[in-house]
Amino acid sequence: MDWKPDWGLRGRMVLTMFLLFALYIVFVGALVYTDSFIVLPFVAVFLFAQFFFSDKLALYSMGAKKVSEDEYPELHATISRLSQQADLPKPKIAVVDSRVPNAFATGRSQNNAAICVTTGLMRMLDSDELEGVLAHELAHVKNRDVMVMTIASFLSTVAFMIVRWGFWFGGGNRDRQGGGIIAAIAVSLVVWIVSFVLIRALSRYREYAADRGAAVITGQPSALASALMKISGGMDKVPQDDLREQSEMNAFFIIPIKSDFIGRVFSTHPSTENRICLLYTSLMARG
Q: Which of the pair, 17 or 106, is modelled with greater confidence?
A: 106
Q: pLDDT category, 262, cuts 50, 70, 90?
A: very low
- Quick one: angle between helices 145-152 and 39-52, nearest 10? 170
- Tell me: the pLDDT tens digits for 157-215? 777 777 766 655 444 444 544 556 677 778 788 888 888 888 888 888 889 989 999 99
Close Cβ partners of 151 (under 8 Å, ≥ 6 residues apart): none
Q: How much is the pLDDT for 111?
A: 92
Name the pLDDT band for 15 (thresholds 50, 70, 90): confident
> Is 80 exceeded by the pLDDT of residue 35?
no
CA-to-CA dists, residue 201 to 16, 149, 231, 266, 283, angstroms: 8, 11, 23, 8, 25
| Contacts of 63 by beta carbon, 8 Å cutoff, 6+ apart | 96, 97, 98
3-state DSSP helix/strand/coil % of the chain, to nearest 5: 70, 5, 25
| pLDDT tens readout for residues 223-246 | 999 999 999 888 877 777 777 777
Cβ burial of 97 (10 Å; 0-12, 13-18, 19+) is: exposed
* pLDDT for res 228: 95
Beta-sheet strands, E only, within the chain: 65-66, 92-96, 103-106, 114-118
Task: Report the pLDDT value the prediction gives residue 266, as an integer from 0 to 100.
Answer: 66
Indicate which residue of 69, 137, 207, 245 is catalytic. Answer: 137
* Full strand arrangement of the beta sheet holding 103-106: 65-66, 92-96, 114-118, 103-106
Give the pLDDT band of residue 95 (cuts 50, 70, 90): very high
67 close to 78: Cβ distance less than 8 angstroms: no
- Contact (CB, 8 A) for 138 and 83: yes
Share of the chain above pLDDT 70, in %: 80
β-pairing verdict for 65-66 and 92-96: antiparallel
Give pLDDT tens digits for 44-72. Answer: 676 677 677 777 888 888 899 999 999 99
Name the packing angle between helices 54-62 and 39-52 (round to 10°): 70
pTM over 0.85? The answer is no
Is residue 137 among the annotated active site residues?
A: yes
Write down the pLDDT at residue 239.
75
